[in-house]
A and B are shown apart, each in its own frame.
Chain A
Amino acid sequence: MLDQYVGVILSFLLAAIIVAVMVSGSMLLGPRKRSPVKDQVFECGNAPSGPARGRFSVHFYLVAILFIVFDVEVVFLYPWAIVFRSLGVPGLVEMLLFIGVLAVGLAYVWKKGALAWN
């Protein structure tokens, strides 16, 4: 069963080597002439005004939280999608209830304005 994953492991190794060489290509081949001005981060030509890692809109956190909720529900749907033929009508009804709850959740966050961007 695990020998299915031989190809995956080999792909991991090869891809890691190829991508690492590609990312470090300029470090190895490129010139190296550093200067304080060149090292500045780009802020449209002005001197950078302090560190960049500040606060950002709470909306992005909200998207992340909603993502976890809905993505976990999507993951639950996958096993059912494979076996639902053999489960027949009872399986379908149960999953309709589950998807119904999911849809109600979506309607709730929609009405609450969590999906609104202004």
Chain B
Amino acid sequence: MWGEVGIAAAKSLAVLVMVLNLCVVLLWVERKGSALIQDRIGANRANVFGGILPFNLGIVNTMIADPIKMFTKEDVVPAGADRLLHFLGPFLAVFPVMVTFAAVPFGDVLLIGGREIDLQVAALDVGLLYVLAMASLAVYGVVLGGWSSNSRWALLGGIRGSAQMISYEIAMGLALIGAVMTYGTLDLQVIARAQGEYLWGVVPAWGILYQPLAFFIFLVAGIAETKRVPFDLPEGESELTSGYFTEYSGSKQATFMLGDFAEIILVSALATTLFFGAWQVPFLARDGWYFPGGTHLAMPQLAVAALQVASFIVKVLLLCCFQILVRWSLPRYRYDQLMNLGWKRLLPLSLANVVVTGAVIVLAG
């Protein structure tokens, strides 16, 4: 009993640390990547206390200096703000996203000393529902952050943000129904295992082959849920200062930024799990490689598990980089365009996707 609890605790800690680390990596990718896209050098120097060290920390700056700087800034709560809600805003913007990762499988199984450890914090049979339920709670962070600050900019940003997030949640939920219909389950680990099949013996049967439209809708709605360009109207720095976190400073502001990155990772992790074969490496089974043509190459289980986890992380990182690329390439939508896209384009499209998927599966047997 306590052994199981210990393993679960270790797994949840590992996942949280992994997510936090990925957030820091993404912070670096974003700062250096945006510099690359905009043809400038970007952040390239940092030192401690104005130059004690004889050498330049270079690349390390964004990964270490930024968080330290944020944490040692003053925490300003504006006059007339609700202090409790002002604290709860950033907390609720990140906490639900963090706990969502508990249901996402990051590997198959790990065999240690005859014990089979499922590489998933919580093997929920309603995994996808749990993910949707938790991820949609993040809207409270935006609403509370906007409302509690007693600032007009923040309030406008908070209202815009909440309307945007709930609008795209419908399209997102409907798009995921297409994927659920394909696999007939909400258990993310079962969905991941189902993608280990092969079409005609060679093509990995990943979800995107069955549900390309669902993937497209999910990705667009997911980027809208992260409230980043081209959907960054809640933040809209050229019109709303910085939207719902205008009145936040120091580590509270950093928490909102972390929430952004955690959401990017969540969208990528879900897209990977549902549409890109989760942790599957093509032709790699639990006991080694099975190449088409009958060649078998045995491999120790530990190496297989490590490869699968690495494959999951690589896929997630690629999708994260894609989202950052989108962010730095596209201009911002107008609010009516944003709402039109959500309600008049994605919603009917995802409804059609559900109907067509259902008809194809039932009629084709």
Binding site for B on A (CB under 8 A): 3-8, 10-12, 14-16, 18-20, 22-27, 29-33, 36, 38-44, 48, 51-54, 56, 59-60, 63-64, 66-67, 70-71, 74-75, 77-78, 81-85, 88-89, 91-92, 95-96, 99, 102-103, 106, 110, 115-118
Choice from A4, A26, A81, A91 contacting B177 with Cβ under 8 Å: A81
Q: Are B4 and A19 in contact (CB under 8 A)?
A: no
Please measure, in the bound complex, the distance between the C-alpha atom of A22 and the C-alpha atom of B99, giving whole angstroms. 15
B123, closest chain A residue (CB) = A4
Beyond known contacts A41-B79, A42-B246, A51-B80: 12 more, CB 8 A cutoff: A6-B5, A7-B102, A23-B252, A26-B252, A56-B159, A67-B170, A77-B177, A78-B129, A78-B186, A84-B358, A85-B362, A96-B358
Choice from A5, A23, A44, A53 contacting B91 with Cβ under 8 Å: A23
Q: Are B358 and A18 in contact (CB under 8 A)?
A: no
CB proximity of B231 to chain A, nearest CB, Å? 15
Q: Are A22 and B87 in contact (CB under 8 A)?
A: no
Which stretch (B150-158, B194-202, B205-213, B285-293) binds chain A?
B150-158
The interface residues of chain B lying within 8 Å CB-to-CB of A83 are 184
Q: Are A41 and B149 in contact (CB under 8 A)?
A: yes
Please measure, in the bound complex, the distance between the C-alpha atom of A82 and the C-alpha atom of B184, giving whole angstroms. 5
Choice from A6, A16, A22, A54 contacting B8 with Cβ under 8 Å: A6
The interface residues of chain B lying within 8 Å CB-to-CB of A29 are 71-72, 251
Q: Are A85 and B347 in contact (CB under 8 A)?
A: no
Annotate B268-295 by CB proximity to A: 1 below 8 A, 0 otherwise. 0000000000000000000000000000
Q: Are A99 and B354 in contact (CB under 8 A)?
A: yes
Annotate B6-31 by CB proximity to A: 1 below 8 A, 0 otherwise. 00110111011000100000000000
Q: Are B251 and A56 in contact (CB under 8 A)?
A: no
Q: Are B71 and A78 in contact (CB under 8 A)?
A: no
The interface residues of chain A lying within 8 Å CB-to-CB of B80 are 41, 51-52
Q: Are A60 and B184 in contact (CB under 8 A)?
A: no
Given contacts A8-B102, A38-B76, contact A18 B16 (CB under 8 A): yes
The interface residues of chain B lying within 8 Å CB-to-CB of A51 are 80, 150
Choice from B15, B255, B335 contacting A11 with Cβ under 8 Å: B15
Q: Are B12 and A10 in contact (CB under 8 A)?
A: yes
Q: Are B70 and A26 in contact (CB under 8 A)?
A: yes
B74, closest chain A residue (CB) = A30
Choice from A38, A42, A63, A84 contacting B163 with Cβ under 8 Å: A63
The interface residues of chain B lying within 8 Å CB-to-CB of A33 are 74
Q: Are A67 and B167 in contact (CB under 8 A)?
A: yes
B106 at the interface (CB under 8 A from A): no
What are 19 sample pairs from A and B whose C-beta atoms fall under 8 A apart?
Answer: A4-B123, A4-B124, A7-B123, A10-B121, A11-B15, A22-B94, A23-B90, A24-B251, A25-B70, A30-B71, A30-B74, A32-B75, A39-B76, A39-B77, A81-B177, A89-B363, A96-B358, A103-B351, A110-B344
Please measure, in the bound complex, the distance between the C-alpha atom of A60 and the C-alpha atom of B159, giving whole angstroms. 7
Given contacts A26-B249, A52-B150, contact A7 B122 (CB under 8 A): yes
A52, closest chain B residue (CB) = B152
Q: Are A85 and B122 in contact (CB under 8 A)?
A: no
B136, closest chain A residue (CB) = A71
A26, closest chain B residue (CB) = B250
Q: Are B258 and A22 in contact (CB under 8 A)?
A: yes
Choice from A14, A36, A38 contacting B16 with Cβ under 8 Å: A14
Please measure, in the bound complex, the distance between the C-alpha atom of A106 and the C-alpha atom of B174, giving whole angstroms. 14
A63, closest chain B residue (CB) = B163
